[in-house]
């Protein structure tokens, strides 16, 4: 057991939100508030930007009942950001400021809750603190609906988004078959480089309401083949439902989406969108069919009403394990998930993954889970994903609507 480290803890949230990211934050906050080694717990306002601006919330001032409601509150309640800090060996300006704030509040525990770029930030902070001699334990708490963090079987937030997507596709399937006239429906799903979310549309097939075609960014997209696929199914059935990732690309690497160059986020990633409408216009022009384009957009990452209880439980536990590991003396790790099958049933084990092995590496859908025709997903994906979307959470309601956390967000002084 490592020597006790006494001091305050801070947690920040970064990148795109999910329906369960606050469950992880609650896991960190509750466990840290209850730990004798931790003197206070602060929350960064809008991630690392709040740290740099000295805008930290005093989490000890929050009502415990309101904090508990974070389990079923979507989005990033502390506020998020997309801010890429420089390599400390190139420009250490931000790091000097972070260290200044650490010293001001005697912060000895740093937890960052996010995806690939957030783990990169966490790794950089960890290395700088070690180099500077400030005794601080740094832990990454994963989240990303994209499910593309390297080394972990799956990521907090993915299962709930997958459940939302599969449910929505099944509902659209029923709606698209109301009339006795032909129609093609194209559903655009999030995913820049990894097709995990789009693959989740295939789960609707397990209840008889799945898409006819699925296209993911792990393989090159061929417009002529796509149009031929749609025409073939439409001619045979009079209906065709397509699930397509926003990040599908041609063989030269260029995005199919017309919005590919419209803007970039704070990490330099292209902001995609408009693909469903683009493909709908092309299909309508080529086939003459009635075509409807649907973009699930932000709904797939904030649909807490369709959250997976498994996802909520694992997300909370990831935050809890991060604090416990840090108190035990660990630093420079991210909490990861390991799948274990016991008597044919899924269970999750929690493991520590070095931040240096996680940051800036992307996990893709295995090519063997994509059909040889590159227009569908095999049943291997359902075997992987169905245990993750299990369980219906109990939620507090108010006037028939979800009652989300209402934090006071008292700024620390």
- Does 58 qualify as catalytic in the annotation? no
Distance, CA of 102 to CA of 51 (rounded, Å) = 9
* Full strand arrangement of the beta sheet holding 291-295: 213-215, 239-245, 183-189, 291-295
DSSP result, 189-212: E--SS--HHHHGGGGGGGGT---S
Distance, CA of 168 to CA of 145 (rounded, Å) = 16
Q: How many CB atoms lie within 10 A of CB 282?
A: 17
Residue 342 parent element (H or E)? strand 333-342
Backbone angles phi, psi at 399, to 5 degrees: 55, 35
Distance, CA of 54 to CA of 77 (rounded, Å) = 18
Distance, CA of 132 to CA of 385 (rounded, Å) = 43
Side-chain half-sphere CA neighbours of 387 within 13 A: 15
Q: How many CB atoms lie within 10 A of CB 367?
A: 9
Q: Based on the number of CB atoms within 10 Å of its own CB, is 392 exposed (0-12), middle (13-18) or buried (19 or more)?
A: exposed
Q: 308, 163 in Cβ contact below 8 A?
A: yes
Q: Based on the number of CB atoms within 10 Å of its own CB, is 66 exposed (0-12), middle (13-18) or buried (19 or more)?
A: middle
Dihedral over alpha carbons 292, 293, 298, 301 (to 10 degrees) = 80
Q: What is the CA radius of gyration of the chain?
A: 22
CB neighbour burial string for 248-267, b if at least 16 within 10 angstroms, e if fewer: bbeeeeebbbebbeeeeeeb
State the catalytic residue, choosing from 146, 148, 229, 311.
146
- Name the β-bridge partners of 43: 11, 57
Dihedral over alpha carbons 72, 304, 337, 377 (to 10 degrees) = 170
SS3 at position 317: helix
Which positions are catalytic?
Answer: 146
């Amino acid at each position: 057991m490592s020597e006790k480290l006494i001091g305050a803890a801070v947690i920040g949230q970064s990148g795109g939100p999910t329906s369960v990211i606050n469950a992880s934050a609650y896991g960190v906050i509750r466990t840290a508030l209850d730990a004798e080694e931790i003197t206070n717990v602060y929350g960064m306002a809008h991630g690392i930007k709040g740290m740099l601006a000295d805008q930290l919330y005093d989490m000890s001032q929050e009502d415990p009942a309101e904090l508990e409601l974070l389990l079923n509150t979507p989005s990033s309640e502390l506020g998020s950001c997309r801010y890429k800090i420089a390599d400390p060996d190139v420009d250490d300006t931000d790091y000097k400021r972070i260290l200044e704030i650490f010293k001001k509040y005697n912060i000895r525990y740093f937890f960052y809750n996010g995806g690939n770029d957030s783990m990169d930030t966490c790794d950089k902070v960890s290395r700088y603190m070690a180099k500077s001699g400030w005794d601080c334990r740094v832990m990454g708490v994963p989240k990303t609906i994209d499910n593309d963090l390297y080394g972990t079987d799956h990521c907090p937030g993915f299962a709930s988004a997958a459940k939302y997507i599969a449910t929505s596709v099944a509902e659209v399937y029923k709606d698209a078959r109301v009339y006795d006239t032909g129609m093609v429906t194209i559903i655009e799903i999030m995913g820049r480089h990894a097709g995990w979310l789009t693959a989740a549309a295939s789960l609707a097939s397990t209840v008889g309401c799945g898409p006819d075609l699925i296209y993911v960014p792990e393989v090159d997209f061929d417009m002529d083949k796509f149009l031929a696929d749609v025409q073939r199914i439409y001619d045979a059935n009079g209906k065709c439902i397509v699930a397509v990732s926003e990040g599908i690309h041609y063989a030269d690497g260029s995005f199919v989406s017309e919005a590919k160059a419209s803007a970039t986020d704070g990490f330099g990633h292209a902001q995609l969108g408009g693909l469903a409408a683009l493909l709908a216009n092309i299909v309508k022009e080529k086939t003459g069919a009635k075509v409807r384009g649907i973009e699930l957009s932000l709904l797939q990452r904030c649909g807490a009403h369709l959250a997976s209880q498994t996802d909520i439980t694992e997300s909370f536990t990831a935050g809890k394990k991060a604090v416990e590991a840090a108190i035990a003396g660990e630093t420079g790790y991210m909490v990861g998930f390991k799948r274990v099958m016991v008597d044919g049933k899924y269970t999750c084990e929690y493991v520590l993954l070095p931040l240096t092995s996680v940051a800036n590496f992307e996990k893709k859908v295995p090519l063997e889970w994509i059909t040889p025709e590159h227009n569908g997903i095999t049943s291997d994906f359902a075997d992987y994903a169905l245990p993750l979307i299990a369980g219906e959470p109990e939620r507090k309601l108010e006037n028939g609507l979800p009652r989300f956390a209402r934090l006071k967000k008292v700024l620390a002084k």
